Amino acid sequence: IAQVCKIKRILVKPVFDDAAANKNSTLSVNRVTANQFKQALNVKLGLRLTTSEVQVLLRKFDDNNDGMVNYVSFANLVDPPEQAFDPYSLR
């Protein structure tokens, strides 16, 4: 997934941030429902994962076993690390 997102130049965290801020969301901090997670992966990101692949991800990132997915943990693995910005350097 990380390789595909890198090739397509897609950041996944903003997509999940948008889903979490939706007025129909549960408004849990850094968490989305399993359906929102599936929809973001397959529709908004266009990854077209199989049902079994999505189930593996849901089990991995449902850290409280409550049906909510910790999308920040997922995004930390998929998105490239942010580069530190030093405002005092000339680079």
pLDDT tens profile 17-27: 988 888 777 77
Main-chain dihedrals φ then ψ at residue 23, nearest 5 degrees:
-65, -20
CA 4, 79, 31: angle at the middle one, nearest 5?
110
Contact 25, 60 (CB under 8 A): no
Q: What is the pTM of this model?
A: 0.80
- Mean local confidence (pLDDT), 40-61: 93
Contact 15, 36 (CB under 8 A): no
Residue 90 has a pLDDT of 67
Residue 70 has a pLDDT of 95
